[in-house]
Structures are given as structure tokens and as C-alpha cells.
Amino acid sequence: MTRKIAIYGKGGIGKSTISSNISYALGYEGKKVLQIGCDPKHDSTRLLLNGKKIEPVLEYMRRVVPNNYKLSDLIFKGANDIDCVEVGGPEPGVGCAGRGILLTLELLDDMGIRYEDYEMVLYDVLGDVVCGGFAMPLRKENSDAVYIVTSGEFMSIYAANNILRGLSNYGEKDRRCGGIIYNSRGLMEEDKRIQRFSDAVELPVIVKIPRDELFAKAEKLGRCLGEDSPESETAQILTTLGRKILTQTEYYHAKPMEDEELERVVLGL
């Protein structure tokens, strides 16, 4: 059975690092994984490819005439036999990055991608602006569950709340929220902020990932933490997270707060 998940978070919050480490851990255990990076920076899969960036789908579509499109040109093999796809983005000042996600998903379908061949399909999605295109992975035809990466910084929590709002606004009334992935920055009262947010939106924190300098060390080498420091406590936390996501059966409704309530609850105003 294929589990399709979408991992959303504010830019720079560490969602791509976490996504890649989840994919790496599952791939190491023999699971067949497809990771689709939905960010104009097209660097979601870099740590699965020894630090290399692959040609994004939108750039490929600009370079190659449609009659010559091949699915094998869009999917790149990464560590632990993980399949990697990057959406990419338009030229600066031209086009819409969100629409690029829509075009990519349509192209993959048109070219006959077999999602059923994977045990996990992971969409790594920029969550700063949940517009039509960036919201595509939220839809139940594209993902079974949505996870939100956030720290205790207010703007990160603000983005997390907007992601819940997007899920709610798209008429997704089913229980499809998997939980909060808390990527700690080590800030004062950060745990309390996250807990207040979690309680208010009735969405549990499924993991706390500690601030760890080993991430920076691994990223300099273009590797996942599970590859560079597999015995570390943080690598083990990420492995456990991957297993949980793959087997989770209990999900939650999206219950976002209004902006004023968010400030009051999180900031204690």
C-alpha cells in the first residue's frame, strides 16, 4: 500500500532537511520512496544526491519539446535507491511557482508515473503562501496526510496556522492532519509556545527534533544525518519519525485560529 504524505513548513524552517532524512531512513530499511520537492529553490533532494541539484521539471519543460518528454529524464536516483523529483520555479518576475507544481503533477500523471510502486510518496512543500498551486499536495487525491514543520518562532507558527487554514478552506473536511513536527531552535519558552499552539488547534506534536550541530556537519558533506551520523540520538529520532509516519492510522481535523486569537494564544497577549 502506498502512503502519500505532504510535509509543509515556512521557508528555512528545516522541512527539506527533515523530509530528506525521513526518506533516507525509510530507504535504508528497504522501503521504496519517491520524494518530490515543491519549492522554487529546487534543493529538497540535495542531501539524497551527495549535495547535487538535479534539473527541475519546469526547466526540463522549457528545454525539451513535448514530443521528446521521457519520465526517466525527470526522476533521479538518490541514496538508498530513493527516487527524486524537483519541481523548480519560473524565471524571476515571470510566471507562477505555484502553477509549476500543478504542471509538474499533471505531467507526471500524463507520463504514466506509477505511484503504486512506492511505499511512500513524500511531497516537500514550501508553506509560506498556500495559494492554489502550492495547495495541490494538500488535496486528498494527492496526499493521504499532511504534516507541518514549525519551530516556536511566531512567524513559523503563523505559517503553520495558514497551512491549516488552507487545508480547511479547500473543503478537506476529513481527518488528514498527521501532526506537528517540532523543529526546535532552542529559544526561550519555545516549548511552551508550541504546546499552546498545539492545544489551541487540537493537533498533537508527534516529535521534537532538537537543535543539533550534526545537521550542519552532514549538510556540508551533502549528506543526510542518518548517513553521516547514523548512531546519533537525532538520527534515531528521525528514523522513528519515518516509521511513525509510514504506519500512522489516527489523523486530525484542520482547526486553524484567526490571526488575533493566534497572537493572543502563542504570544500570550
**Which residues are annotated as catalytic?**
10, 15, 41, 128
Output the CA angle 189-192-195, nearest 5 degrees.
150
- Amino acid identity, position 19: S
**72 Ramachandran zone, left/alpha/beta (phi>0; psi -120 to 50):** alpha
CA distances (Å), 40 to each of 9, 72, 116, 253, 268, in order? 14, 21, 27, 29, 35
Place of cell 553521516: 228
- Amino acid identity, position 247: T
Q: How many CB atoms lie within 10 A of CB 267?
A: 11
Query: Which residues, 6+ apart, have CB-to-CB distance to 263 below 8 Å?
Result: 154, 269
